[in-house]
Amino acid sequence: MNSERLWDKRILISIYNMNLINRVIMKKLILGLAAFCLLSVFVRGQSAATGYPENKTSKKILDGFMDLRFGMFIHWGPVSLRGTEIGWSRNSTVAQADYDSLYKEFDPVLFNSEAWVKTAKDAGMKYLTIISKHHDGFCMWPTAYTDYNIMHSQYKKDVVGELAAACRRNGIKFCIYYSVLDWHHPDYPLHNNGIETPDPKANMGKYIVYMKNQLKELITRYHPYMLWFDGNWESPWTYAEAADMYNYIKKLDPSVIINNRLGKGSNKEMTAQTVGDYETPEQEIGAINMETPWETCMTICTQWAWKPNDQMKSLKECIRTLASTAGGNGNLLLNVSPMLDGRMEARQVKRLKEVGDWLKKNGEAIYNTKGGPFKPDSVYAATRKGSNIYLLIFRRDNDQLTLPALRGVKITDAHFLHGEAVTVMQDGQHSTLRLPEKLPDENCSVLVLKTNGNVDHIPVINK
């Protein structure tokens, strides 16, 4: 072989090798590209399933909700015939077959929606949330999707509809509680509390269609201001289904507010698994939070549903709970439990009226305010609006009340709401208020601190 041909061959070989390298690179590139395309399709597919939220409730709507501060929760249903806990007593203190037949006897002839709404209004409550379906699956409205509803009880009246109308007549925002889990429905896989093995005959897909139909019915018929979900913790319900449900609901009504128990995870805080607009601490006052809206739900007695001779909270406890909740920048959803005949207990109505009387005098310090800037404790909570700070004083430990200094503003005046002036001394570190020998209101006295600035945006001050 002459040298020229040898060079030709070498060149040919190196071109071949280059091609080989190129081919390998090309192959890798093509594979990479294909993988990238596949991945993005997959990701898009995922977000099509869980692209939540498509239409999140606006800050303006949520701010309006948080301005209301105080609402009535109502846990009621055929279970009031037994006086045991709603949902939870099924197959525990009440035999399942007995529990599931209670509706046949349910005849609350003294139910009067106007009276219930008047009770809420007199309590100073601005919204009302009624159980439409609890974990026991019984529906308190004439739903087209199951016979297990109020029209098949003795009573045969649309309790949810009557309350929605009474709320509308009286300027109370109407809200609906709906349990995700449903131990009674054949398509929901778990048929009792604590059962871990799903029923192979159940069909969660069909159950979700049932939920969607019912929620559409509730939204288009009663136009709730807010939907209060619950029963989100069991395994058949997933984050993806919750996210899809949120989008579905917001398509039906973009303005409806949704609590955070639609998704998974903690009720008390927003997590990656959360689906919903606001946090829902239960039977405890939430921690101060200026960013995320929250609502504490709490029973006026100990049980959610009516229980004879249940221990009721004192007026002091009710007012302090409300004041501390507002002081933490939250709402209070206080639960009442009507009886089997349709009336609310007289003592609960009286207690609520007493709270309302306190609010008539002191509502300025609760409604439309923000919590803080001082963190609430057992001595006082604070709310604020514009240049005013309202101290909600629970206890007088001595003749002075010392507050941490307010950076950037000065207190120009201090007086009890509708009452006498209070001397205030300020140095760079503290403001000291001289308290009268007896506080004007033994449950909670409101002291207004006027300042020379705007206090709405002062960061929360630890005491």
Binding site for ligand GLC (CB under 6 A): 75, 86-87, 230, 282, 297, 304
Nearer to ligand GLC, 86 or 424 (CB): 86
- Give, in degrees to the nearest 5, the angle at Cα 282 between 281 and 284: 85
How many alpha carbons fall within 13 Å on the CB side of residue 381?
25
Complex with ligand GLC: residue 86 or 315, whichever CB lies closer: 86
* Smallest separation, CB 378 to ligand GLC (Å): 24
Question: Angle 292-293-297 (CA atoms, 0-180°, nearest 5)?
Answer: 130
CB count in 10 Å sphere of residue 300: 23
- What is the smallest separation between the CB atom of 135 and ligand GLC, expressed in angstroms? 6
Helices (H), 102-156: 113-122
Taking CB atoms, the residue at the shortest distance from ligand GLC is 297
- Strand ranges for 312-407 from DSSP E: 331-336, 370-371, 380-385, 388-393, 400-404
> Strand order in 430-434's β-sheet?
400-404, 430-434, 424-426
Strand locations in 360-434, DSSP E? 370-371, 380-385, 388-393, 400-404, 411-416, 424-426, 430-434
Q: Cβ of residue 75: shortest distance to ligand GLC, in angstroms? A: 6
Q: Give yes or no for a contact between 366 and 359, defined as CB atoms under 8 angstroms apart.
A: yes
- Name the residue nearer to ligand GLC (CB basis): 335 or 445: 335
Q: How far is the CB of 193 from ligand GLC (least distance, A)?
A: 9
Of 269 and 282, the one with the shorter C-beta distance to ligand GLC is: 282
DSSP β-bridge partners for residue 226: 175, 257
Q: How far is the CB of 275 from ligand GLC (least distance, A)?
A: 16
* Distance in Å, CB of 69 to ligand GLC, minimum: 18
User: Whose structure tokens read 């106007």?
Assistant: 114
Residue closer to ligand GLC, measured from CB, 282 or 317: 282
Q: Are 399 and 434 in contact (CB under 8 A)?
A: yes
d(CA 411, CA 222): 47
Report whether 366 contacts 388 (CB < 8 A). Answer: no
Dig out the tokens for 8 from the structure.
């030709």
Give the residues across from 258 on adjacent strands: 227
Closer residue to ligand GLC, CB minimum distance, 225 or 374: 225
| CB 79, min distance to ligand GLC, A | 11
Name the minimum Å distance from CB 362 to ligand GLC: 27
Q: Which of 84, 119 has the CB closer to ligand GLC?
A: 84
CA–CA gap between residue 279 and residue 289 (Å, rounded): 10
For ligand GLC, give the closer residue by CB, 86 or 382.
86
SS3 state of residue 320: helix
* CA–CA distance, 313 with 330 (Å, rounded to integer): 20
Residue with smaller CB distance to ligand GLC, 16 or 233: 233
* Residue nearer to ligand GLC on the CB measure, 87 or 137: 87
- φ and ψ at 206, to 5 degrees? -70, -35
Q: How far is the CB of 337 from ligand GLC (least distance, A)?
A: 11
Query: What minimum distance in Å lies between the beta carbon of 87 and ligand GLC?
Result: 5
What does the block give as tokens for 363?
């509502």
* Residue keyed to tokens 């919750």: 242
